[in-house]
Structure 1
Amino acid sequence: MATYVLVPGADGQGWYWHLVEPELRAHGHTVVTVTLPSHESAGLDAFADAIAEAVRAAAPAPPHPVVLVAQSLGGFSAPLACDRIGADRIVLVNAMVPRPGESAGEWWGNTGQADARAAYAKADGRDPDAAFDARTDFFHDVPDAVTEEALAAPQAGPPAAVFAQPWPLASWPDVPTRFLQGREDRFFPLEFQREVVRERLGIDVEVLPGGHLPALSRPRELAAELLKEA
């Protein structure tokens, strides 16, 4: 049996994984869903501490392999927790991949995300100059009931400190890493991610159906990929 540690993206809520969690538990695995701190002074180290504390609280002696799964912005914080939780594997999902010394605030311009998003919107027949809209960019393939539940919750957003702190590691952790990427991700388009991931991690992305929030839009398909790590 494995332990899955599920780290959310920018909203910081463990709820993001609520449809994936039972799929993993049904196969007998331990699942730890992490909710990240929201106070404005919380930086990447506080996020990594929260991941470690969640594991200690839920699974003091977690069964191995310990699989650390990170969605979107979680790509900045989850690697910092690898040593703290004894992670055996990392699975990134539509994630941001940092360089040493790069802040999450700098990542957007350094990677050219805005241009990639606009180009994908144009190719998709949408307005390339449209402002970000959660329903359009994130929830376009999420069932309506799940979308309404998500958007009805308080929208705190990540602390500003997370975007300001330079990524502190000298290199990516020496832990086997997979990258799962949604084919229809409007926020981090597939070809954009292929280039970033190949350049920064030296691996290829594995393409899944769906957009930026597969844990909400295609939880069974995502869980099936994660179960390959057990």
Structure 2
Amino acid sequence: MGEFVLVPGARLGGWAWDAVAEQLRSAGHAVYAVTLSGLAGGDADVVGQQQHVDDIVSVVEGNDLYDVVLVGHSYSGIPVGQAAGRIGDRLRRVVYVDSSIPADGLSFADAWSPEDRVWLDEQLAEGDGTWLPAGPEYFVDQDLSAEAINLLATRGTPHPGLTLTQPARLARPITELPTTYIKCLMSGDTPTPDVQQALNSPHWDLVELQTGHWPMLSQPAELAKLLAAS
């Protein structure tokens, strides 16, 4: 049985994985759902990208985990990909769930268009250095129930802005690591160009899931099965 470390996307805590974690645990797996620094209150405006990487590495090393499946959703693919290169032979596989992937020296926001980057800068200024939680309208047309949309909108917390703008530092190229990329088709038919390029690696596999960008809430049982098969 595997050891699963589940990392949520921006503005979310470990609670976002509750339904998936329940499915995996019922199948006999060990599960650690991470709430990254600054996402549960505290000094969110000063938490940086490398702190999020350290958070993930600390869960693995602090619990002496081996045969680890590191799972990153959305934003958290950036720190997950970096952490995967640091944990050495403890890693079994990386799974990116409709997520960004890290590139050495580049940040999460560097992949955005100039117009979107201006919008993000405005958001961070409005949030005093944090990315404020999204309203319910952000989650429509993504295969989510009204209950799930309400959960995302009411439990989301401000996200540390520095983690979005500080660069990734790769200890090892991500294309050398055993990896599954799960593309959620309701958020776009194809992966982003950087993911498509990475998928040329013999170590990477692509899996498609017919749901929206938050499959841990829209299709938790299906997502848990994909993770268990990783």
Cα 1:163–1:149 change in 2 (3 A) is closer
CA deviation vs aligned residue, 1:63-108 (integer Å, no higher than 9, x gap): x421000000011101222223722210000001232211112111
More displaced stretch, 23-32 vs 6-15? 6-15
Secondary structure at the aligned position of 1:37 is classed as coil
| Residue of structure 1 aligned with 2:56, choices 32, 51, 56 | 51
Match of 1:27 in 2: 27
Match of 2:107 in 1: 103
Report if the CA contact (8 A) 1:139-1:213 is conserved: no
Match of 1:67 in 2: 69
Query: Is structure 2 residue 98 aligned with structure 1 residue 94?
Result: yes
Q: CA shift at 1:201, angstroms?
A: 4.4
Q: CA shift at 1:45, angstroms?
A: 1.1
Match of 2:127 in 1: none
Match of 2:223 in 1: 222
Distance (Å, rounded) in 2 between the aligned partners of 1:155 and 1:61: 29
Q: CA shift at 1:46, angstroms?
A: 0.4
Distance (Å, rounded) in 1 between the aligned partners of 2:61 and 2:35: 14
Per the normalisation by structure 2, the TM-score is 0.79
Give matches, 1:1-230, under 5 Å.
1-38=1-38, 39-56=44-61, 60-62=63-65, 64-82=66-84, 83-84=86-87, 86-109=90-113, 135-140=136-141, 141-156=143-158, 158-169=159-170, 171-172=173-174, 174-185=176-187, 189-191=188-190, 193=191, 195-202=193-200, 203=204, 205-229=206-230
Cα 1:46–1:173 change in 2 (3 A) is farther
CA deviation vs aligned residue, 1:99-146 (integer Å, no higher than 9, x gap): 221111211128x989xxxxxxxxxxxxxxxxxx75454343211112
Per the normalisation by structure 1, the TM-score is 0.79
Cα 1:65–1:159 change in 2 (3 A) is same
Structure 2: any 5+ residue segments left out of the alignment? 39-43, 118-133
Distance (Å, rounded) in 2 between the aligned partners of 1:46 and 1:154: 20
Q: CA RMSD in A?
A: 2.4
Structure 1: any 5+ residue segments left out of the alignment? 115-132
User: AA paired with 1:147?
Assistant: I
Match of 1:121 in 2: none
User: AA paired with 2:106?
Assistant: E
Secondary structure at the aligned position of 2:225 is classed as helix
Identity across matched positions, percent: 29
